[in-house]
Amino acid sequence: MSMRGKWNGRRWPAFLRLLILAAVLFSYAMFQGGFVSWFLFYSFLPFGLYAFLVAMYPLRRAAVSRTVPARRYHAGESIPVMVRIELPWAVPLAALAVAEEGRKHGGEMIAIAWPFRRHLSCTWPLSLPRGRHQLEAVRLEARDVFGWVNKTASFYVPCTVIVYPRYIQWPPEMVREWFAQGKAARTLAYRRDMAVAAGAREYVPGDKMSWVHWKASARRQELMTKEFDEQRNDDWIVVLDGAASPWFEELVTLAASVSKALMDEGVPVGLLVAGKERSFLAPRRHDGQWQSILLRLAEVDVGGQEPLAHVLAEEASWRTAAGCIIVTSALSAQLAGQLRAMAPKRHIVLYVVSREWGEDERNWADRLRRSGVYVSRIDPQALQTVRQGGGDG
């Protein structure tokens, strides 16, 4: 897609500079006379006329389009951005600079001379952090040989680029250790007893319509789902703590890594993000779930205000999960108490990304381990130096 942009060049100041310079040289030649003065004037004429041509050049009539190859990009990867330009006239511009306007992560200006060509293209690498990014304007800047004339035009060519988080390949033996951990350790073949409904809870995305409790829904004026005597199955949920933290990007990398490890083992994986807005992705086993998890992690923002322990206590999805992996950067007494209460009913894995632990954190971690919770501290540097998630994997 290409759109003509607004012309930002200043033509009349350039004209005035050229006219003043030409008038000064001509006056000097007329009054001084001689070979040297006229040589200066006639030497100026080719460059002056060329600068005049650049000043008159309708750069705003150029057509600009931008393309980014359609593939999955991860944080830290170089993103090739190709810009195609169709100029109105085939004029030998001394330099045509192309730049990504308003970007701080690449897209620096590229100045290239293209003699007598109308259809041009150039590619530059763009490095973007994790997230959804909107590329908007491309700036063209034409100059003459000596820089007397410098005119620019901006072209609005929008393009959305999603940068996914990095992830690491988790050892399979570590994943199997999660399954064998804790008092709730058992095979992952749980079944629901659909004979008797023990109660009702609020509907969450992913619940089957056959589980809807219509009478309770009518009383509450909201959709309710039946609760059965045994609702545990082989679903696992990865929980990302979205509280403000200097290691938040490392937490996102870790959440993506453990999610990928579980999916590689064929386990249905869901995602709970306790960020600025609580977000839940129901466990699934199908191929599109990995893409959904990556997209949710790409768009998550740091800054959750609610303590993680409160989120875990209120989240209804825990009643249907066989296990969960908690990813956080702070271990508190409140969080430790909530995890100890959850441990007898399901597998609990806790990863804390932190430089070091104090005496209190070590004591809380020891109590959790005695309760059957798998606890591990990971240094942030180990997640900063991991290889990036690659390709379309």
pLDDT at 186: 43
Q: Which of 84-93, 280-289, 380-389 has the lowest mean pLDDT?
A: 380-389
Report the predicted TM-score, pTM, of the whole model to 2 decimal places: 0.72
Of residues 342 and 181, more confidence is placed in 342
Query: How does residue 89 score in pLDDT terms, banded at 50, 70 and 90?
Result: confident
Residue in 360, 290, 352 with CA at minimum distance from that of residue 325: 352
Residue 312 confidence (pLDDT): 87
CA pair distance 207, 199, nearest whole angstrom: 15
| Nearest CA-CA partner of 59 in 107, 14, 125 | 14
Return the pLDDT at 103.
63
Q: Calculate the average pLDDT of the chain.
A: 78
Angle, helix 172-179 to helix 248-264, in steps of 10 degrees: 80
| pLDDT, position 297 | 93
Per-residue model confidence (pLDDT) at position 333: 92
Statement: residue 308 has pLDDT above 70: yes
Contact between residue 352 and residue 184 where contact means Cβ atoms under 8 Å apart: no
Q: Is the pLDDT of residue 294 over 70?
A: yes
DSSP string, 345-382: GSEEEEEEE-S---HHHHHHHHHHHHTT-EEEEE-HHH
Cβ neighbour number for residue 265 with a 10 Å cutoff: 16
End-to-end CA distance of the chain: 29
pLDDT band for position 255 (50/70/90)? very high
Nearest residue to 190 (alpha-carbon basis) of 316, 313, 323: 323
For residues 57-64, give the mean pLDDT.
Answer: 88
Q: Supply the DSSP string of 41-86, one letter for each residue.
A: HHHHHHHHHHHHHHHH--GGG-EEEEE--SS-EETT-EEEEEEEEE
Q: Out of 39-53, 131-145, 254-268, 296-310, pick the least confident.
A: 39-53
